[in-house]
Chain A
Amino acid sequence: MELRDRIKGISLLAALGVVLYTMENFIPSPLPWLRLGLSNIAILLGLYLYGLKGGLWVFLFKLFLGSLFSGRLFSPFFFFTLGGGGVSLFIMWSAWKLFSPPLSIVGVSILGGVSHNITQLFIAYLLFPYSQLFILTPIFTLLGLVTGSIIGIISLMVLNKMEGVCIRGG
């Protein structure tokens, strides 16, 4: 029974992540890499409700299906998402495990957003070894701070609404 609930919940979150990831491409943005990262709500919820494995499943589904639907599977963009998402998932999980009582889901999300952006900067550096790229670090940190807070607050609201209502399996 419990396993079934778990699979059900993770699948729902994965579907949510894929839809958010795909829909977000339709929002016009001044720069192609400047995105809110709405699909990270699903990953954050997967992490909080079903642990590291849950977050990882949601992330992988979002990554492969979302990239497939938006037509950039295995493109350079895909590897940016892979690296940034993987590192930020691990950072969020560690922050949640180590500092969770004082740090709320908002703080965890901020760390995730910032580490996501910094990792992408590193990947960009690996692709184009031009070290003046790191001048962008403060801008990327600030962007991660803003988007991470927004994502964290939305996730917190969702968690509060969900409390004891539905798919808590884990």
Chain B
Amino acid sequence: MREKGRYSPLRFIKYFTWADLLLSLILLSSSLLFPFFFKRPGKGEEVVVETRGGDTYSLSLSKDTTLWVGGPLGKTEVKVERGSAFIAYSPCPQKICMKMGKIRRKGEMVVCVPNGVLVRITGRGELDGVTR
């Protein structure tokens, strides 16, 4: 007959002293509560589009616009819609940049490496918002 609970992970508790358990509990709770203390960077104000050719465009995040920028493979369509920016069309083979989705917060970016297009969000206090 197999002893009940012999293979349950709980039986390893006996190797912990109360201080070990306290330490584990503190680490566990602090890492679980961490997301609540970590302030997410706020909404950005500007969309900066850079191309490999060296062109830089800035768009306002609050105004819906469409921008076509040229790259080595063709034209990439950058769209700003309802406060977020994204790459709506790209001539690159894998379309990873299109799948990267919409960005709206300071410091976020979407990059299309094959066509050399970089879209990032800026705003005041860019670094303070992230590091805290």
Contacts and interface: CB of A to CB of B under 8 A. Distances in A.
Interface of A: 99, 102-104, 106-107, 110-111, 114, 131-132, 134-135, 137-139, 141-142, 144-145, 149, 152-153, 156
Contacts of B15: 104, 106, 152-153, 156
Contact of B27 (A102, A134, A139, A145): A145
Interface of B: 12, 15-20, 23-24, 27-28, 30-32, 34-35, 38, 107, 127, 130-131
B31 A141 contact: yes
Contact of A145 (B28, B34, B38): B28
Contacts of B31: 137-139, 141-142, 145
Given A132-B107, A153-B12, A114 B17 contact: no
24 contacts: A99-B19, A103-B17, A103-B20, A104-B19, A104-B20, A106-B17, A107-B20, A107-B23, A110-B23, A110-B27, A111-B23, A131-B127, A134-B38, A138-B30, A138-B32, A141-B27, A141-B31, A142-B28, A142-B31, A145-B24, A145-B27, A145-B28, A149-B12, A153-B15
Contacts of B127: 131
B35 A110 contact: no
A125 B35 CA distance: 19
Best-buried of B23, B28, B32 by chain A (most CB within 10 Å): B23
Contacts, number: 65
B34 A149 contact: no
B12 A103 contact: no
B17 A141 contact: no
A130 to B, nearest CB: 9
B23 A103 contact: yes
A138 B34 contact: yes
Contacts of B38: 134-135
A106 B31 CA distance: 19
A128 to B, nearest CB: 14
A107 B27 contact: no
B24 A149 contact: yes
Contacts of A110: 20, 23-24, 27
Contact of B131 (A111, A131, A153): A131
Contact of B18 (A99, A102, A142): A102
Given A102-B17, A104-B19, A152-B15, 10 more contacts: A103-B17, A103-B19, A106-B17, A110-B23, A111-B23, A131-B131, A138-B31, A141-B30, A145-B28, A156-B15
A131 B130 CA distance: 7
A129 to B, nearest CB: 10
A107 B19 contact: yes
